[in-house]
Amino acid sequence: MSALPTQFAGVTVLTKANVYFDGNVVSHTVRFAGDVKKTLGLIRPGSYHFGTDAAERMEIVAGACRVTLDGQTTTQDYPAGTFFDVPAKSGFSISVSAGLCEYICSFLP
């Protein structure tokens, strides 16, 4: 389990939303000093697949989801307070059964 932040100080937030799957997944980009980038987002109920260019860490802030990483057959549940890592040049399928799943996506070096 990770210690999830409740706020970020000294950042720049891009006001244009990243909208996927007809608005069922929406995030905003947050830029930090040192060219560090994260996105903060919401996922509505449904099943979605994302590809990754860079390695990512997805931290679940609220709600819950089920995830299958590309190349794996096992599906894992991630409740609030947990995280999963996705390798670069890969992807994952994510599903939310009810409510909203809120996340922080950190792009890893």
CATH number at residue 73: 2.60.120.10
Domain count, the chain: 1
The pLDDT tens digits of the residues spanning 27-53 come to 999 999 988 999 999 999 999 999 999
- Range of the structural domain that residue 88 is part of: 12-107
Alpha-carbon distance of 60 to 84, in angstroms, equals 9
Please report whether residue 2 resides in a domain.
no
Residue 81 lies in a domain: yes
CA distance 80 to 102: 8
Q: Which pLDDT tens digit goes with each residue over 58-90?
A: 999 999 999 999 999 999 999 999 999 999 999
Instruction: Examine residue 65 and state whether it is found in any structural domain, yes or no.
Output: yes
In a domain, 102, yes or no: yes
Cβ atoms of residues 94 and 47 within 8 Å: yes
Position 7 in a domain? no
Task: State the average pLDDT over residues 18-26.
Answer: 97
